[in-house]
Amino acid sequence: MPRPIQATIHTAALRHNLERVRQSVPDARIWAIVKANAYGHGIERVFEGLRGADGFALLDLAEAERVRALGWRGPILLLEGVFEPRDLELCSRLGLWHAVHCDEQIDMLSSHKTHVPHRVFLKMNSGMNRLGFTPGRYRAAWARLNALPQVDEVSFMTHFSDADAPRGIAHQMATFEAATQDLPGERSVSNSAAVLRHADDSRVRADWVRPGIVLYGGVPDFPEHGAAHWGLQPTMTLASKIIAVQDLPVGGTVGYGSLFTAEQALRIGIVACGYADGYPRHCSTGAPVLVDGVRTRLVGRVSMDMLVVDLTPVHDAGVQAGFGSDVTLWGRASAEHGGALLSIDEVAQAAGTVGYELMCAVAPRVPLTTD
């Protein structure tokens, strides 16, 4: 039989999280962000759960083709726009909307031969300093686009840098509103954090919102808030089993580098999961894990194919865990174990990273399924 590790994508949780966004922005349309292969979940696996969105937004043409192949006939937005002139041909054929964030993309459009004008989203650099026209150049870029016969409608977008942080969004909203004042067209400014924290303002909701991580149960302002605070559910569970048990004496060490030394006798379980499966190697002693639904901790260094957990808290809870016991690395334990939850954000925090990275890093060798 194959190794007992598996990732499960929860369709009902995807639907739930989408509806949670809808409740925050009832008068706005929703782009479901499925870039990076739907944050590592797989576009085909999340489609059923997210098809209630008003559109799908992503980065590359191959992903857009996959969404169309699933039968989606609604809007699809390329968040970074096109990268070379021939990309516009596929935009025409697939009916894709695309961002425009630089002069070179306007130049490509001006030379493109098409019978169907394109819908574009003009991106403003309102302070994040990644993509977009600066406020001083924004209206000139709009005028160029608006004059092109290749362009049907121009919408306006920007991206917040601190929607999940104390600085907030007021400075960028003021910049965006000043530069777009009186320009006709739809607006889109909100990412996941803005949807959760700032959507009481109609200007922030605007015409379209762009939730990403929130759809997958991740919390953009963790640890200030957790998933329960925002009413989110995990959409991915990474689970495995204990494949061996060892009794560790006082002074015994665990794993490469002997980073963990037992101060008392412990029973430990060896789990079929390692950094080659996408579990973060930067996790070490103390990182949270569930065994048969009971919370315990990682001990020692994560190996390529294995990691080690402390079974003492599990036994103290009256659960006789051992060979074959279920291990939840993140997500939701089985109903048999009470459906206990372990936030991916907690695991990511223990690794010094964010839940986004863990979702995207699950290795190809890990079987994925949906429920």
pLDDT (tens place) for every residue of the chain, 371 residues total = 789 999 999 999 999 999 999 999 999 999 999 999 999 999 999 999 999 999 999 999 999 999 999 999 999 999 999 999 999 999 999 999 999 999 999 999 999 998 899 999 999 999 999 999 999 999 999 999 999 999 999 999 999 999 999 999 999 999 999 999 999 999 999 999 999 999 999 999 999 999 999 999 999 999 999 999 999 999 999 999 999 999 999 999 999 999 999 999 999 999 999 999 999 999 999 999 999 999 999 999 999 999 999 999 999 999 999 999 999 999 999 999 999 999 999 999 999 999 999 999 999 999 999 99
What's the rounded Cα separation, in Å, for the pair 43 and 50? Answer: 10
pLDDT at 27: 96
Q: Count the alpha carbons within 13 Å of 99 in the hemisphere toward its beta carbon.
A: 25
Catalytic residue among 35, 241, 279, 356: 35
What's the rounded Cα separation, in Å, for the pair 116 and 113? Answer: 9
Nearest to 218 by CA among 328, 127, 309, 353: 353
pLDDT at 187: 98
* Cis amide linkage into residue 223, ω under 30° from 0: yes
3-state secondary structure of 136: helix
- Enumerate domains of the chain plus CATH numbers: 11-228 (3.20.20.10), 236-370 (2.40.37.10)
Contacts of 218 (CB under 8 A, 6+ apart): 39, 192, 232, 344, 345, 354, 355, 356, 359
* Continuous H helices in the chain: 11-24, 35-39, 43-50, 61-69, 87-94, 103-111, 135-146, 170-180, 192-197, 202-205, 227-230, 312-316, 344-350, 355-361
Helix H or strand E segment including 242:
strand 236-248
What's the rounded Cα separation, in Å, for the pair 142 and 154? Answer: 8
Partner residues linked to 237 by β-bridges: 8
Give the phi and the psi of residue 316 in degrees, each rounded to 5.
-65, -25
144 CB burial (10 A radius; 0-12, 13-18, 19+): middle
What's the rounded Cα separation, in Å, for the pair 198 and 206? Answer: 12
pLDDT at 191: 98
User: Residue 209's Cα: distance from chain center in Å?
Assistant: 15
pLDDT at 365: 97
Structure tokens at 240: 């495995």
For the question of residue 35 being annotated catalytic, the response is: yes
* pTM: predicted TM-score of the whole model, two decimal places: 0.96
pLDDT at 292: 98
pLDDT at 309: 98
Do residues 39 and 212 make contact, with C-beta atoms less than 8 angstroms apart?
yes
Catalytic residue among 241, 256, 275, 356: 256
For the question of residue 241 being annotated catalytic, the response is: no
102 C-beta neighbours (distance < 10 Å), count: 15
pLDDT at 115: 87
What's the rounded Cα separation, in Å, for the pair 358 and 366? Answer: 13
Helix H or strand E segment including 184:
none
Partner residues linked to 370 by β-bridges: 9
Give the phi and the psi of residue 217 in degrees, each rounded to 5.
85, 5
Task: Give the residue carrying structure tokens 């939730």.
Answer: 211
